[in-house]
Amino acid sequence: MNRALITGISGQDGSYLAELLLAKGYEVHGLIRRASTFNTYRIEHIYQDPHDPGARLFLYYGDLANLEQLANIIYNVRPDEVYHLGAQSHVKVSFEMPEYTGDITGLGTARILEAIRRSGVRTRFYQASSSEMFGDAPAPQNERTSLQPRSPYAAAKVYAHWITVTYRESYGIFASSGILFNHESPRRGETFVTRKITRAVAAVLAGRQNRLFLGNLDAKRDWGYAPEYVEAIWKILQQDRADDFVIGTGETHSVRDFLEEAFAYVGLDWREYVTADPRYFRPLDIPVLRADASKANHEFGWEPRVSFGELVRIMVDHDVARLGLEPPGEGRKVLEEKRFGWHRWNAQTPAALESNLEAVW
């Protein structure tokens, strides 16, 4: 039985990856942070009592700020694969907390790699690199594009990316990076723009909200469907040699396009609800991200199956259903028809356990 350790298992990608690996027969170990409130709602539906002799999911308290603790976990678990997804992942927040972001998102990777090296455990390592690292570099961006970070988050990810390459080349560790473009889902954090919009669409329909405050509507992003991206993450660690891969759809859309698609899907006009708010603009933003994922396609046949319009419908359907209303249903149909196997509509985040906090970023 393969054994994997996932940092960031309570996040969007970590929760999908844990589901995928359990479906593949892995034993899955995950790092979670101690909090005074529940922060494990995304993995509640796959939780297993560790006393159960058949249990294959185990959770450990830990923090990316603490090398000794990470080294102990890696030494004791002795994973075959480490998926390092944990990070302070919000770009706007990184402008408010640059030092913390550098510590967790940047140095956190160095700590895990050093824990692997010191423990002497032979394991494959995955680094969650980001298209945000490309910054101003012209689109489409691929593995050879120069890195021109434009946020403290991006600068931290560039450090993490290069320290991964350094450990691969210095110590022969099988260390690979996935340079992933934006990927979204009903499990996306509520303060990222796509989820903020789809939650607002649902709240407007339910009569709970009549204003949506947003920042830069001109920014263009390459948005894909998160479960397909965790399939790519797994494939990256199954290659014969460690390497770096860009993952994205190759299409780009503006925040305005996303608004148009999401509100029109339920028969609303976004212009009647959206107001610009300076607090959501960043000191610097990236104008356009668009992936050239031809290397991943060539090396292991990865290609996205869910289109931009389908992604929007999946997310709106989920958020509408979450408020107890009947969704239009096209998104649900997409998931039923495309048959991911390991991931079905009814395995979405349990609505009742979701955070009720309003988006603040």
Closest to 273 (Cα-Cα) out of 194, 214, 360, 195: 214
Q: Tell me which residue has tokens 């927040």.
A: 93
Q: Which of residues 203-242 bind ligand G4F (CB under 6 A)?
A: 214-216, 219, 221
- 12 contacts ligand NAP (rule: CB under 6 A): yes
Fill in the per-residue mask, 132 to 171: x = in contact with ligand NAP (CB under 6 A), - = not in contact: ----------------------------------------
- For 201-217, the DSSP string reads HHHHHTTS---EEES-S
- 88 contacts ligand NAP (rule: CB under 6 A): yes
126 - beta bridge partners?
Answer: 83, 176
The total number of residues written for the chain in this structure? 361
Q: Which of residues 282-311 bind ligand G4F (CB under 6 A)?
A: 282, 285, 289
- What is the number of alpha carbons within 13 Å of residue 263 lying toward its C-beta? 20
Q: Which of 153, 229, 265, 273 is catalytic?
A: 153
Q: Which of 101, 119, 127, 131 binds ligand G4F (CB under 6 A)?
A: 131
Question: What are 37's two structure tokens?
Answer: 């409130």
> Are 8 and 58 within 8 A, CB to CB?
no
Name the minimum Å distance from CB 166 to ligand G4F: 21
Name the minimum Å distance from CB 59 to ligand NAP: 11
In the complex with ligand NAP, the residue whose CB is nearer, 132 or 204, is: 132
Pick what 85 binds: ligand G4F, ligand NAP, none; C-beta below 5 to 8 Å, kind-dependent: ligand NAP
Name the minimum Å distance from CB 179 to ligand NAP: 8
Non-local CB neighbours of 360 within 8 Å, separated by 6+ positions: 191
131-145 burial string, b = 16+ CB within 10 Å, else e?
bbbbbebebbbbeeb
Catalogue the active-site residues: 130, 132, 153
Residues binding ligand NAP (CB under 6 A): 7-8, 10-14, 31, 33, 39, 63-65, 85-89, 104, 128, 130, 180, 182-183, 189
